[in-house]
Amino acid sequence: MSLPPRNPDEILRARGADSRPAARFEPYRTEREHDGWDIPEEQDLLRTEVTQERARSIIARNTSPDISFDRSINPYRGCEHGCIYCFARPSHAYLGLSPGLDFETRIVAKPNAPELLEAEIGRRGYAVAPIAFGTNTDPYQPIEAKLGIMRGCLQVLHDWNHPLSLVTRGATVMRDVDLLGAMAARGQVLAGVSITTLDAELARQMEPRAPAPATRLRMIRALAGAGVPVRVMVAPVIPVLTEHEVERIMQAARDAGATAASMIPIRLPLEVAPLFRDWLERHHPGKAAHVMARVQAMRGGRDNDPRFGSRMRGEGPEAGLLLQRFRLARKRLGLQRESEVLDCSRFGPPPRAGDQLSLF
pLDDT score of 359? 43
Phi-psi region of 325 (alpha: psi -120 to 50; beta: other; left: phi over 0): alpha
Q: Are strands 76-77 and 106-109 parallel, antiparallel or unpaired?
A: antiparallel
> How far is residue 298's CA from residue 288's CA, in Å, rounded to a whole number?
16
User: What are phi and psi for residue 51, nearest 5 degrees?
Assistant: -115, 165
- Rounded to a whole number of angstroms, the CA Rg of the chain reads 21
Q: What is the mean pLDDT of residues 26-32?
A: 75
Q: Work out the average pLDDT over 189-197.
A: 98
Residue 133's beta-bridge partner residues?
73, 166
Where in the chain are the domains? 48-333
Q: Cβ contacts of residue 90 below 8 Å, gap of 6+? A: 24, 99, 269, 270, 271, 272
Cis peptide preceding 236, ω within 30 of 0: yes
Of residues 55 and 69, the one with the higher pLDDT is 55
- Residue 281 has φ and ψ, to the nearest 5°, of -65, -30
Per-residue pLDDT, averaged over 214-242, amounts to 98
Query: What CA–CA distances, in Å, run from 327 to 315, 317, 333, 358?
Result: 16, 15, 10, 49
Query: pLDDT at residue 280 above 50?
Result: yes
Residues 6 or more apart whose CB falls under 8 angstroms from that of 22 comprise 4, 28, 29, 30, 98
Within 207-244, residue ranges assigned H as helices are: 213-225
- Phi/psi for 204 (5° steps) reads -60, -35
Residue 1: the pLDDT is 63
More confident call, 351 vs 166: 166
pLDDT at residue 192 greater than cutoff 80? yes
165 with 189: CB under 8 angstroms?
Answer: yes
pLDDT of the residue at 356 = 54
Pick the range with the lowest mean pLDDT from 8-12, 100-104, 108-112.
8-12
Question: Distance of alpha carbon 43 from its chain centroid, rounded?
Answer: 31
| DSSP tally for the chain: helices H, then strands E | 11, 12
Q: Across residues 210-221, what is the average pLDDT?
A: 98
For residue 169, pLDDT over 50 is answered with: yes
Q: Model confidence over 300-343: pLDDT tens digits?
A: 999 999 888 788 889 999 999 999 999 999 999 999 988 789 99
Query: What mean pLDDT, rounded, does the chain reach?
Result: 94
Q: Give me the helix-helix angle, 177-184 and 213-225, nearest 10°.
A: 50
Is the pLDDT at 106 greater than 50? The verdict is: yes
* Alpha carbon distance 251, 333 (integer Å): 7
The CA–CA distances, whole Å, from 174 to 32, 178, 219, 231 equal 44, 9, 6, 15
Is the pLDDT confidence value at 360 over 60? no
220 pLDDT exceeds 90? yes
Whether pLDDT at 187 is above 70: yes
Indicate if the pLDDT at residue 358 is higher than 50: no
pLDDT given at position 355? 60
Assigned CATH topology for domain 48-333? TIM Barrel (3.20.20)
From 40-49, 85-94, 107-116, 256-265, the region with the lowest mean pLDDT: 40-49
pLDDT of amino acid 98:
97
Share of the chain above pLDDT 70, in %: 94
